[in-house]
Structure 1
Amino acid sequence: MTAPWRILSLPPIDQNVVRRLFEPLGDAAEVTFPQARERAALLSALAGADIVIADFSGRLAMDAEAVRAAPRLAFVQMPAVGTDSIDIAALAAAGVPAANAAGFNARGVAEWAVGASFALCRHLAWADRGVRAGGWPQMEVVARRPREIHTQRVGIAGFGAIGAEAARLFAALGCAVSYWTRRPRPEAAARYRELDDLLATSDILVLALPLTEETRGLIGTERLALLPDSALLVNVARGGIVPDDAIVAALESGRLAGAALDVFDDEPLPEDHPLRGNEDVLLSPHAAGTSVQSQFNLVSVVRDNVTAAVEGREVRNVVNGMNPHVRRR
């Protein structure tokens, strides 16, 4: 009898959820977990793992050392779109396909970007704080020059599933939408612009890029200075693409009138970070993609891909150029 596939699921995904996902596999698979959310426990658990469901928070990173500790490893499933917590090059060198959950939260994140833009344009959070504090800042809101969103030129940096969906939603509201990506999309309804031109013509700049060595620090102080006066920044991508200190400086200079940030250089955001005290910033705890619908989508993607690997079918969304047909070692 063939030994069961050993599926190692890393935190923070709930263990009971994972067990239920793979119950239909019966004796074909065995689900395991690290004994603790610690590096040593990860390396120990990897020794017997055939498949790993990675840690989307990055706390237990599947880096090169972790790959070396997993001689049986045949497949890694990232339960997220971003792959910055797994070393895709090290996995490719080891002959291990790695897949992400591309598109699972595209609508949810795109809606957050639009909602956050509404909040910035109309100063919703600022007004809410004033009323809750006992004030009635009606004329103060007027003085802050609230904007109707359809009058804003929207630039989207990154045009994957999230960027494309955000472009569609902003266009439906009447916004003039442009985008930049490394490979222009001839089929895109939005207008393509080179990156610096995009910044110079964007009243609302939406970041929807993956974090890679090429995109880290891509939009720093010099590029933020290209934005029109009183522009707004919405970041649903990753911290580090536009450094937090560059955002603070742009806010203090007035180049940015506001920012809606779901991601940061360091997460959680340090308690004494100046962004916490800036009233022109809408802060979110990396939760743009956590709608109920997105979570159902994610569970389905992880279940279907890992099940395909166990049953000898091709997996989807391989991100490191490997053959999507997973082979046991």
Structure 2
Amino acid sequence: MSGRRRLLALPPLGADLIHHVFDPLGADVIVPAERSRDALHAELADADLVIGDFTGELAIDAAAVAAAPHLAFVQMPSVGVDTVDVDALTAAGVPVANTAGANARSVAEWALGAALDLSRQLSWADRRMREGGWPQLETAARGSDELANRRVGVLGMGAIGAEVTRLFEAFGCQVAYWSRRRRDTGVYRELDDLLAGSDILVVCLPRTPETVGLLDSPRLALLPEGAFLVNVARGGIAPDDAVLAALESGRLGGAALDVYEREPLPADHPLRRHESVLLSPHAAGSTRQSQLNIITAVIDNIRAAVEGRPVANVVNGLGPLIRRR
């Protein structure tokens, strides 16, 4: 394959916007004619650079990789890479990059705000006020607490986990963490020990085969009674049914959820009706600042790939120089 590089852009954005952003980078920019598997595979036949679809609707799975003989690089416009088959891409020799750290502050601030909401019953009191009530005594009776001196467990110590730790410590919380790789800083505890000593558990782990179902019902039962769960990771790490059961039993005093096993969360899902749940539509990282960080990281990497310079944030252990295939 020779000549200009062909960049297939899969994010669910308007074609005019995609061309406005990426045409100046020196590649032929392609947007699928329709958001379907057939259209995706047709365009992959000639594409060598791909910007992935963070929604997973146009997933780069093993079949898509097989349909892309010239594919040389996949750039995800997100921190998570669970909407692409990393193993299949690695086997094909295709580097995959993410935008590590781009939304760390945004997600960490959401986690802190969600913990404050649960601790002070903010959303619950707001709903009662909008219904015409005046739940002054009831709010306190539900267990309104300060964050200071609460024991906070952080699962995952990447960029988001590190920022979560910093923000909660600034509020006077006692923070410890568990991660698949132990860090040189911070208070590390083994997973079950961390759960048993966490008044607030913040989940920041990537979704991998090892983390799916990690926080099942037996693990959630290790938490102190009335603990709070704040999940800013990915759906399935704490299965929705397990979370719901822990809420119903009182093991969880509340949960703030930005992610779910099925997204969008079905309209009739019982989590939508639970009074002790704060719901968010996978938007913890969606601030203007983080979106600017993400698009800047994507532009920088695509420009580097086109110009023959090393790309940043390759997650699958392959070299950062993007070579034609």
Q: Does the TM-score normalized on the shorter chain lie above 0.5?
A: yes
Q: Which residue is equivalent to 2:201?
A: 205
Alignment match of 2:96 (pick from 95, 98, 118):
98
Describe the superposition over 1:13-38 as per-residue Cα deviations: whole angstroms up to 9, x where unpaired: 3333322222333xx31100111111
Decide whether the 8 Å contact of 1:158 with 1:208 is kept in 2: yes
Decide whether the 8 Å contact of 2:23 with 2:29 is kept in 1: no
Q: 1: CA distance between counterparts of 2:13 and 2:252? A: 37
Residue 255 (structure 1) aligned with residue 251 (structure 2): yes
1:56-67 superposed matches below 5 A: 56-67=54-65
Q: 2: CA distance between counterparts of 1:319 and 1:327? A: 17
Decide whether the 8 Å contact of 2:112 with 2:167 is kept in 1: yes
10-19 or 198-207, larger mean C-alpha shift:
10-19
Q: 1: CA distance between counterparts of 2:40 and 2:74? A: 14
| CA-CA distance at 1:328 after TM superposition | 1.0
Q: 2: CA distance between counterparts of 1:192 and 1:92? A: 32
Residue 230 (structure 1) aligned with residue 200 (structure 2): no
Query: RMSD between aligned alpha carbons?
Result: 0.9
Q: Which residue is equivalent to 1:119?
A: 117
254-263 or 11-20, larger mean C-alpha shift:
11-20
Residue 276 (structure 1) aligned with residue 272 (structure 2): yes
Q: What is the percentage of aligned positions where both structures have the same residue?
A: 62
Q: Which residue is equivalent to 1:18?
A: 18
Structure 1 segments of 4+ aligned residues over 6 angstroms from their partners: none
Q: Secondary structure at the match of 1:164?
A: helix
Residue 80 (structure 1) aligned with residue 95 (structure 2): no
- TM-score, length of structure 1 as denominator length: 0.97
| CA-CA distance at 1:218 after TM superposition | 0.6
Q: Secondary structure at the match of 2:148?
A: helix
Decide whether the 8 Å contact of 2:7 with 2:47 is kept in 1: yes
Describe the superposition over 1:152-197 as per-residue Cα deviations: whole angstroms up to 9, x where unpaired: 10000000000000000000110000000011111x2x31000001
Describe the superposition over 1:116-152 as per-residue Cα deviations: whole angstroms up to 9, x where unpaired: 0000000000000000111111111011110001131
Q: 1: CA distance between counterparts of 2:170 and 2:296? A: 29
Q: How many correspondences in the alignment?
A: 324
- TM-score, length of structure 2 as denominator length: 0.98
Q: 1: CA distance between counterparts of 2:28 and 2:225? A: 57
Q: What amino acid is the match of 1:3?
A: G
Alignment match of 1:140 (pick from 130, 133, 138):
138
Q: 2: CA distance between counterparts of 1:134 and 1:22? A: 51
Decide whether the 8 Å contact of 1:240 with 1:264 is kept in 2: yes
| CA-CA distance at 1:95 after TM superposition | 1.0
Alignment match of 1:293 (pick from 289, 292, 296):
289
Describe the superposition over 1:30-63 as per-residue Cα deviations: whole angstroms up to 9, x where unpaired: 1001111111111111111010100101111100
Q: Secondary structure at the match of 1:91?
A: helix
Describe the superposition over 1:208-241 as per-residue Cα deviations: whole angstroms up to 9, x where unpaired: 0000000000110001000001000000000100
Q: 2: CA distance between counterparts of 1:287 and 1:160? A: 19
Decide whether the 8 Å contact of 1:203 with 1:231 is kept in 2: yes
